[in-house]
Amino acid sequence: MVKSSFLSRLSRADWFGPLLAVLITVAIIRTFSPNFLSAFNIQTLLLAIAVNVLIAFSQMIIIAIGQMNLSVGAIGGLSAIAFAGMIEVWGVPAPYAAIAALLAGVACGVLNGVLISVTGISAFVITLATLSIYKGINLGITHAQPFYGVPESVKALGTAALIGPVPMLILPTLIAAAALWFLLARLPAGRFILAVGGNEHAASLSGISVRKVVILAHAISGLLAACAGILLVARLQIGQPSIGDDWLILSFAAPVIGGAVLAGGHVSVAATSLGVVIVALITQALVLFSIDPFLVQVVLGSLILAAVGINRLRQVRLASGRA
Amino acid sequence: MNISPIFEARGIEKVFPGVRALDGVSLSLLPGSIHALLGENGAGKSTLIKVITGVHRPTAGQLLLGGEEIHLSSTHDAIAKGIGVVHQERNLIPRFSVAENIHLEQLGGHALQPINYAELNRKARRWLEELQFDVDPATPVYELSVAKMQLVEIAKALSLQSRVLLLDEPTASLTSGETDTLFTILRRLRDNGVSLVFVSHKLEEVQEICDRVTVLRDGVNACESQPTAGLSRQDLVRLMIGRGENGGSWRKRDVAANPVALELRNVATAIGHRGIDLSVRKGEILGLYGLVGAGRTELAKAIMGRIAVTGGEVLVEGQQVRITSVADAIHRHGLGYVSEDRKTEGLVLPHSVLANAGIVIWRKLAGFLGDLSDAAVQRSVVPYLEQLEVKTPSLAQIVGNLSGGNQQKISVAKWLAAGVKVLIVDEPSVGIDIKTKAYLHDLLRDLANQGTAVVVITSDMPEMVALADRIVVMNDYRVQGEVENTGVYDTMSYAIMSLIHREEEVRAVEPA
């Protein structure tokens, strides 16, 4: 067997490409806009990244089992208004409201997972349906009106700094990232998730309960989406019912840019996070250069295409390297 | 013999909606023995294996392990009781390491207890060493060859302390060298007291390593757990198909006067073939033998325009040609390729028989506006489907529901309908039972007799000797040499193996 050199091993790592892209993007933007790395700009960037990484993780864990979850945004939105609503209408203390909202997210995820694994209907169809249901419940509760009664403690969390320009909101994201990495790389439960995505038949013949694994993955997805929703309430300072409406494309874009295999079995926490960073940088750059914000959508779409193309090239190279 | 069986199946019945797959089948396994399970496709072997390994629950009958009745409600149950299985299809997680695949079942008693990979690798190494299989347990399995993946699966079954180990066609994708290695391992396991069940279509192998045999036919026992000593190959065939085998169907065919249909001169390809010279005449059956990985399938794909030819000349009927796409190969030059992997490359399983058989001629039959009538397609393909005796309830039947043999016939029929001049057939009889295999051989011979040049790629030496007029031996993306087939198995296999062997001697002398 040929021992691959350090550099070629590095170039095969999922995070290597995105990291390179991040550094290059920063360097380019920096030349054109010297104040890009100002404390304020970094803070704005990190605030966006903190929430978006959670959104991306929420989809990534479903991609890991080879499915998709169209309802991530609806779950996030429902949890967000549940959080704000419980505080405003029932006077529940914020920490308890947060826990209850997270549990609501888990419940939504579990419902997705149970429906998918019991009926055997594709995740696409089930989550398309539950997307509509969760969003409908959201609008039924709020009548599309925001909850404004977000307490000062929560608002303060949304603006507090951890150190220097690094916002407090990034803390839950860092914890989630570390926990997800540990789960997927070290814990049997996480390996089972990847095993089911890699070869469902083999996993089930190895005595892994595919049903439990699917439900677990969807529960985690719901938890992460709910967490993103709650953080957004803190950041926006209101319980906005439209939270989650624009999550879907990003949720797929970041894992794909991070080299996730959509058929399942292979995702990377680090590379997915870098995928979010790339999207945030480019969005920010377009704002800085006062380019039409509608172009952001076009750029995001092009990014997905480019990422898929690059992954495909890498696969072809891997395969021919073996022949 | 007074040894009591370690495992018994008694009067197993299994009824699926509309089908009685097993109708009172029995089997008893002794410790330290290799037990052959034979039967044609559809005889019930797979169903029986699934019952024994806990995938299906029997409708009636008993399973006894060590004399006590057991009830298996899941594969997990069977594993826990020491019944392991190596399935025909690969059942590994490609991105996971060798060690992790081996220990997937026991990754940790607790789903939330961290995995100790160093410990996992150490444990895995023990089983790999037992198989004398030299691989780093941290290697991801997608980097391994098919044969090595199979060894990983056996290591996996061993790690479960299996007392009963079922191997479903373990040699189907192995070369004869790899098969020998596997057999050495199986014998060692047997000597250690493991009870092995060996499923194979290759009777030579069964006679070589099995000491007892159970034959199924149409869901019942044609024979139950008999010693193989004293059973000849003919006896086994008779048990399997209820009649004798048409032996010695090979006969000398003189094609030396025919024009050359396809010729390669000093061809090189983008993926490493060098100096490939070969030719096949009209009406000739050329065998392309080599070990798996010798580059035969890849050469076929290069001829068909799937892989770039980077040097040398390709001549079709004496004319030098440049084939850049499969469409070109089929429509302009009359070349056809029956893939070894009919399920993913040869057929569109969810489509009908008619759609599959007609797919290559749609372009030819399409009208002025690209319209296509079923009637036109039917007129073109039905004669071939009939000639090949494809058994299907209707042309609208979904191909995925037909047996392996019938699927193979359809993948041949579609090329006949396309009227190809040169047909390359890759591993024609993988997963096909003896009766269908014999038909298929007759068919390829008929085709050749009608003037088609046939190139057969196979790793099955008896098949090669039964079929080919001339055999080209490949190794390591090069042609090693060529032998005229005499139809005598022993001398032919010796000649072929020494051609492959010669390479290794040469290589040993060459500086690395």
Question: Mean pLDDT by 10-residue block, N- to C-terminus, for chain B (512 residues)?
Answer: 80 80 88 88 81 89 89 84 83 90 78 84 88 86 83 85 87 78 88 89 84 87 83 78 57 82 90 89 90 82 88 89 85 84 71 80 70 76 78 78 76 80 84 72 85 87 84 87 83 78 50 40
Residue at B1 is within a domain: no
Same domain, B161 and B12: yes
DSSP B349-410: TTSBHHHHHHTTTHHHH--TTS---HHHHHHHHHHHHHHTT---S-TTSBGGGS-HHHHHHH
Is there a single domain that holds both residue B235 and residue B297?
Answer: no
How many angstroms separate the CA of residue B434 from the nearest CA in chain A?
Answer: 29
DSSP code, position A239: B
Q: What is the pLDDT of residue A191?
A: 92
pLDDT of the residue at B507: 46
B303 belongs to a structural domain: yes
Q: What gap in Å lies between CA B434 and CA B440, rounded to an integer?
A: 10
Q: Which domain holds residue B381?
A: 345-419
B394 and B375 assigned to the same domain = yes
Structure token digits, residue A74: 């609806």
Q: What ipTM was reported for this prediction?
A: 0.81
Among chain A residues, the shortest Cα distance to B54 is held by A205
Domain segments of chain A as ranges: 37-245
| CA angle in degrees (0–180, nearest 5) for A145-A148-A149 | 135
Asked if residue B211 is part of any domain, the answer here is yes
Q: Residue-wise over B135-171: b if at least 16 C-beta within 10 A, else e?
A: bebeeebebbeebbbbbbbbbbbbbbebbbbbbbbbb
Q: What is the structure's pLDDT at B455?
A: 93
What is the model's pLDDT at position B108?
A: 62
Closest CA relative to residue B101, chosen from A152, A21, A198? A198
Whether B93 and A266 lie within 8 Å, measured CB to CB: no
Q: Where is the domain boundary, B241, B270, B294?
A: B241
Q: How far apart are the first and last CA of chain B?
A: 54
Same domain, B264 and B319: yes
Q: What residues contact B332, with CB distance under 8 A and at least 6 apart?
A: none
Q: Is B271's CB within 8 Å of A320's CB?
A: yes
Residues of A in contact with B143 (CB under 8 A): 1, 322
What is the structure's pLDDT at B433? 67
Task: Report the residue of A4, A14, A184, A206 to disrupt the B interface, i.e. the one with the largest count of B CBs within 10 Å.
Answer: A206
CB A46 within 8 A of CB A69: no
Residue of B nearest to A320 (CA): B271
For an interface test with B, which of A199, A266, A316 has the most B Cβ atoms less than 10 Å from its Cβ?
A199
Is residue B246 in a domain?
no
**CATH code of the domain covering residue B105:** 3.40.50.300
**What's the pLDDT at A87?**
94
pLDDT by residue, tens only, chain A of 323 residues: 344 566 666 667 778 888 888 899 888 888 888 888 888 888 989 999 999 999 999 999 999 999 999 999 999 999 999 999 999 999 999 999 999 999 999 999 999 999 999 999 999 999 999 999 999 999 999 999 999 988 999 888 888 888 888 999 999 999 999 999 999 998 999 999 999 999 888 888 787 889 999 999 999 999 999 999 999 999 999 999 999 999 999 999 999 988 888 888 899 999 999 999 998 988 888 888 888 877 878 888 888 888 888 877 776 665 554 43
All residues of chain A having their beta carbon less than 8 Å from the beta carbon of residue B92 are 199, 202
Given this model, what pLDDT does residue B511 score? 42
Q: Of the candidates B79, B93, B143, which has its C-beta nearest A207's C-beta? A: B79
Clarify whether residues B82 and B219 are in a common domain.
Answer: yes
Are B198 and B267 part of one and the same domain?
no
Domain boundary among the residues B241, B266, B296 is at B241
pLDDT-above-70 percentage for chain B = 89
Q: Are residues B330 and B404 in the same domain?
A: no
Query: Measured between CB atoms, does B114 come within 8 Å of chain A?
Result: yes
Q: Report chain A's terminal Cα–Cα distance, integer Å.
A: 12
CB contact under 8 A, B110 and A188: yes
Answer yes or no: do B53 and B110 share one domain.
yes
B95/A204 touch (CB, cutoff 8 Å), yes or no: no
Same-domain pairing of B440 and B407: no
Say how many domains are in chain B. 3
Tell me: do B328 and B350 sit in the same domain: no
In a domain, B408, yes or no: yes
Domain boundary among B207, B241, B275: B241
Residue B215 falls within a domain, yes or no?
Answer: yes
Select from A186, A187, A206 the Cβ nearest to the Cβ of B105.
Answer: A206
User: Domain check: are B228 and B262 in the same one?
Assistant: no
Residue among B223, B282, B239, B236 nearest B469 (CA): B282
Do B159 and B58 share a structural domain? yes
Closest CA–CA distance from residue B421 to any residue of chain A (Å): 30
